[in-house]
Amino acid sequence: MGDVVVVGSRASALAKTQAREWLEQVRPMLPPGVVFKRRLLTEGGDRDRVTSTLAEVARTTGGSAFSSDQEAALLAGEVDVIVHSLKDLPTTVADGTVLLRSPGPREDVRDVLCGASLATLPQGAIIGTGAPRRMAQLRRLRPDVTVVPIRGNVPTRLRRAGRSGMHAVVLAAAGLNRLGLMPPAGEREVLDPATFLPSPGQGALGIQVRTGSRAAELLDGTGDVGVDAAARAERSLLAELHGGCSVPVGAWARVEADGLLHLSAAVTSVDGADQVTATGQGPVDAPEKLGAHLAGELITKGAVRILERFRAS
């Protein structure tokens, strides 16, 4: 009788696709006797489709909108592995659990303006997004636009582009690619991460297990060193800023041709008027040190003031 590993994920089409993607990668790495079973779980952000922002959902549920219930199931032994969209996972995971090395390759980290380009948007255009980071960076690039919160899964939000007075919506390229929903070239703009920094962890998967479990033992050593280093640098920066997935912080780490890990980061006021940025590089085997260093640079430049103003709003 082989090992049985129960893999949990949310029930959305994207979450199921991500879990399937990970299973296809990891199966060949494990002994043939390992059997995987799937279990779908529901989070507060899935049950509450009325509250306008995920930050509000998290406050009302007392945890993360897209990870708390899954972590509880993991700790209760109902599942052995959780496959997360890493950008939705808080920088501190539940006691008794650990994140394994993130798998690779990482999906596209960029955001996509669906329905138009920044240059073709009319004056005062209405753009839909529920993420404060996206709201802030949009207003930074186009101060004239009106940004309105929208929620729902990827297909639901994509359908809002160009309808009901909404000129465009902003979505992650990773989700659009995984679901085969990327709009045609003339109906979108893939935003340059040099000026529109993604959410920390965007495009990467988070693989969470119980500390010391059989699943942790079986899966130890899987994943991609470069992708994992980039994800850890971004999450370390966010943790140092005491941020989460609902704050206006962008970060993008990648291993470049020089063999070093490069990290770019920005904290932007939600009105777009104020922004601090930092860039740096360091060895791939010290990603948390690089993240913490750049967070310190952002703090020196005024990031705390911007974030305090955001939290008080």
Tokens representing 78 are 């109902």
Cα–Cα distance for residue pair 17/197, rounded to 1 Å: 25
User: Catalytic one among 151, 160, 178, 232?
Assistant: 151
Annotated catalytic residue 301: no
Annotated catalytic residue 37: no
Apex CA 133: angle with CA 127 and CA 137, to 5°?
A: 65
What region, left, alpha or beta, does residue 32 occupy, with left being phi > 0 and alpha being psi -120 to 50 degrees? alpha
Annotated catalytic residue 134: yes
Annotated catalytic residue 59: no
User: Catalytic one among 10, 133, 140, 160?
Assistant: 133
User: Catalytic one among 80, 88, 108, 228?
Assistant: 88
Tokens representing 46 are 């899935």
Q: Which of 283, 238, 227 is nearest to 100 (CA)?
A: 227
User: Catalytic one among 10, 140, 157, 178?
Assistant: 157
Annotated catalytic residue 210: no
User: Catalytic one among 87, 106, 139, 160?
Assistant: 87
Annotated catalytic residue 151: yes
Cα–Cα distance for residue pair 304/264, rounded to 1 Å: 17
HSE toward the beta carbon, residue 169, CA cutoff 13 A: 27
DSSP lists the bridge partners of residue 251 as 265
User: Catalytic one among 134, 140, 232, 235?
Assistant: 134
Annotated catalytic residue 87: yes
The catalytic site residues sit at 87-88, 133-134, 151, 157, 245
